[in-house]
Amino acid sequence: MQSGRPLGADLAFFAAYLVVTMLIGWFSKRRNVSVNEYLNATHVMPLWAVIIAYIATNCGALEIVGLSAMAAQYGAQALHFYWVGAIPAMIFLALWMMPIYRRNNITSVPGYLLLRYGPRMRLINACITAIMLLLLAGISQYAVAQVLAATMSLPFEYGIALCSIALTIYVLLGGIRATIYNEIFQLAVIVAGLLPLAILSAHRFGTLPAWALGNRVHLWRGLPLVAPHAPMDVLGVAVGLGLVLSFGYWCTDFVLMQRAFTARTELEARQVPLWAGFGKHIFSMIVIVPGLVAYGLVPNLNRYDRALPSLMTLLYGRWLTDLGITALAASLMSGLASNVSAFAALWTEDIYHQVLRPGKSDRHYLTMGRVAVLFAVIVSLFASYLNFLFANLMEHVQLIFSVFAAPFWAVFLLGIFSRRTSERGAMIGFFAGSILSSLHSIAVMRGWLHYGSTMSANFYASIYAFTIA
């Protein structure tokens, strides 16, 4: 163990954190709750809670561990995921997409596809999104296990099991309300644990020799205009990330929209992504700077996913290390709980209720929602092992979104701007784009196509999928 202390001492902060999350789940419990209140809480949450939960949903394990790994691997160019890959899409969501959702009384992303195209397109979107949520939950499981392994030498399986048990308890108790209020608590823990590391990293950044980082501190220098064989290029960042992946994520992601739909009025719903954008700016510094410094300070950094926890053990003292570990675990819990509760809502409301067993009682669907929570946690445990196939988490995330989210975003845009697009055409377009992106990814993995990085390959895959769809 890095700290040289007993495992129980290292787990003190972490154990206290898990207890608090379960208590929040208990106090969020409602006796006579409807299925909508348990799974979605549509139009009932205060604005401040929605904004913080919206930020926390995005700033989970994938954001913290994944983008710090990106900064360690690619340098300051990881900031493109914030300034190109977030802010423009969040503004578009507030000004254009959110009014469409609210004025048509849409309470879920598949609901828009039902309104615009029909039930088949809704079902396809719901099923694909459910698969994505399980894969993303698996990524969160993997992330926390890596954090605990790097900082406390806790075996991979133990780290996953510990967090899964606590998460299952509070989601089963309080549903979406418990998830949202836990996200607020988790974001506070994350900032408390990572802000000192960002400050210490900024201080160390000034002491690193120039050769230690090279061009890694520049956003655009060394970034060619069009060069698929480079680690990144302007076309991939601007179009693949900025236009396709980011807009598809921020405007149609089920988890984010589930949070935004809990706002009480249309005006409040439109304010959510705008206020959250300011939080993204601040959060970028907390995540990117430590990742940059980890590249120059941490010896033998052979897995970039361990950049942040390894830097903690190097720069933090005894108590800050424990707090930092808890913050990283909180980031996992935030992302994992969001995807698990979203899967339960999506499965129960948009698949089971609408297609498999319509017309049942509210209590029946409430029971199914709780069963879906257990199912999602168990499946995500197995899905976590897929992450060993990737150099960093964000490469896995971008692969998932390039195969599934990019063609769906094309279908969404055509539905908004073209009245001529039919349900049959939308289905053909989606499957064509998704199949092309999948074949492209297989060709890259087999070595038939060559790119400068897996990230660049994912950016171009999203461009191809979006164009074909």
Does residue 418 contact residue 330 with C-beta atoms inside 8 Å?
Answer: no
Secondary element (H or E) of residue 32: none
Q: How far is CA 45 from CA 103, 132, 214, 291, 292, in A?
A: 18, 26, 47, 35, 38
Say how far apart CA 368 and CA 78 lie, in whole Å: 40
**Mean pLDDT within 181-188:** 88
Q: In this predicted model, what pLDDT tens digit does every residue of 351-383 receive, in sequence order? A: 999 888 888 888 899 899 999 999 999 898 888
Q: Is the pLDDT of residue 340 over 70?
A: yes
Q: In this predicted model, what pLDDT tens digit does every residue of 249-262 receive, in sequence order? A: 898 888 898 889 89
Say how far apart CA 110 and CA 297 lie, in whole Å: 46
Say how far apart CA 380 and CA 388 lie, in whole Å: 14
Q: In this predicted model, what pLDDT tens digit does every residue of 279-338 receive, in sequence order? A: 888 888 888 888 888 877 777 777 777 788 788 888 888 788 888 878 877 777 777 888
Say how far apart CA 280 and CA 290 lie, in whole Å: 16
Task: Name the residue ranges covered by the structural domains of the chain.
Answer: 7-388
Say how far apart CA 98 and CA 271 lie, in whole Å: 10
Say how far apart CA 396 and CA 389 lie, in whole Å: 9
3-state secondary structure of 45: strand
Q: Is the pLDDT of residue 268 over 90?
A: yes
| Residue 331 exposure: Cα atoms within 13 Å on the Cβ side | 33
Say how far apart CA 53 and CA 343 lie, in whole Å: 17
**Mean pLDDT within 182-204:** 87
Q: How far is CA 128 from CA 150, 411, 415, in A?
A: 33, 14, 18
Q: Which of 35-49, 344-358, 385-399 has the highest mean pLDDT?
A: 344-358
Residue type, position 224, single letter: P
Say how far apart CA 77 and CA 228 lie, in whole Å: 16
**Mean pLDDT within 71-93:** 85
Residue 344 is encoded by which pair of tokens?
């339960």
Can you name the CATH fold of 7-388? Sodium/glucose cotransporter (1.20.1730)
3-state secondary structure of 154: coil
pLDDT tier at 33 (50, 70, 90 boundaries)? confident
